[in-house]
Structures are given as C-alpha cells and as structure tokens.
C-alpha cells in the first residue's frame, strides 16, 4: 500500500553516503520516508508510480522530507513545488510484503511501492520492479534492514 503521509524510519548509519537533490515531477508528492525513484528525465517520483513523465530508471533512496508538486495539497512554503527533494542512502528498516529471514541476507530487494519492498523482482503476472538495495540483516526484533547504496 502506498504512503499517504510522512513516516519516520529506523536506520543504521553506514558512514558517509551521498544525498541527491532532485526535482519532484509535476503531479506527484514524495512523502518523508518514501522510497523514491528517478525518471529518465531526472525528476523524482514515489517508487511504484504510474503515469510518470518518462520511464522509471532507478531507485535513488529514501526522501528526507516531504516535497509536494501535485498542485492539489495544502502544503505551502519550501515543501510545495518541485523542490529540491533530498534523497538519502543508508540502511533502512523497510516493511516487506513477506518477512525475510537470515537465509535471505545479501539478496536483492525490490520496490513494491513507495512504502513496501519485496524479495520478488517480478510478481506473478506483473512487470519487473526496480531494485532498492540488498537485505543487510535483521535486528534483535527481526526487523529487516535494507542497504541502499
């Protein structure tokens, strides 16, 4: 299920990682904590979006803050308009569609939408998903962490 508001994610710092400022595509809102994809034209959209301005090419990371360029929100100021939206890379606790185990560590992880990830690249009868990163491990509560590089 796609995000409908901002979220905070647990993370494990993995040293200095690049952050990228991207313009949000017209008609889209990227929420804080959203898995964010970049289109071929260089604009950012929530992962799993349809009707993007150009084809999706990669997952860039997790949005540091909300950026709303939908033209329909009540957000004003710096969070309104194309941005920039700052996209972070690190190890994040992301919800999976099916819980992974330690046997899956090192496996590629794919975006289902801007909130959820999967170990399945192509769902039955669906199209290929973009890779978010790799499963880096699980914490003491079995919360999986995805390393986005």
The per-residue pLDDT for range 58-79, each reduced to its tens digit, is 999 999 999 999 988 776 777 8
pLDDT on residue 68: 95
Can you tell me the mean pLDDT for 40-48?
97
Q: Among residues 37, 41, 40, 3, which one has the least CA distance to residue 20?
A: 37
pLDDT greater than 90 at residue 57: yes
Interacting residues of 50 by C-beta distance below 8 A, sequence separation 6+: none
Q: What is the pLDDT of residues 87-146, one digit of tens each?
A: 999 999 999 999 999 999 999 999 999 999 999 999 888 889 999 999 999 999 999 999
Sequence spans of domains, the chain: 18-88, 92-147
| Alpha carbon distance, N-terminus to C-terminus of the chain | 24
Rounded to two decimals, what is the model's pTM? 0.89
Q: Are 85 and 22 in contact (CB under 8 A)?
A: yes
């Amino acid at each position: 299920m796609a995000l409908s508001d901002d979220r905070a994610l647990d993370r494990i710092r993995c040293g200095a990682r690049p952050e990228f400022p991207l313009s949000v595509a017209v008609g889209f809102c990227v929420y804080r904590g959203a898995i964010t994809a970049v289109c071929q034209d260089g604009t950012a959209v929530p992962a799993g979006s349809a009707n993007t301005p150009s084809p999706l090419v990669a997952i860039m990371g997790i949005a540091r803050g909300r950026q709303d360029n939908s033209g329909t929100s009540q957000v004003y100021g710096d969070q309104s308009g194309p941005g920039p939206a700052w996209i972070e890379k690190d190890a994040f606790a992301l919800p999976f569609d099916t819980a992974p185990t330690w046997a899956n560590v090192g496996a590629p992880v794919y975006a289902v939408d801007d909130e959820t990830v999967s170990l399945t690249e192509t769902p039955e009868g669906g199209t290929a998903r973009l890779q978010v990163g790799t499963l880096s491990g699980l914490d003491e509560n079995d919360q999986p962490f995805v390393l986005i590089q």
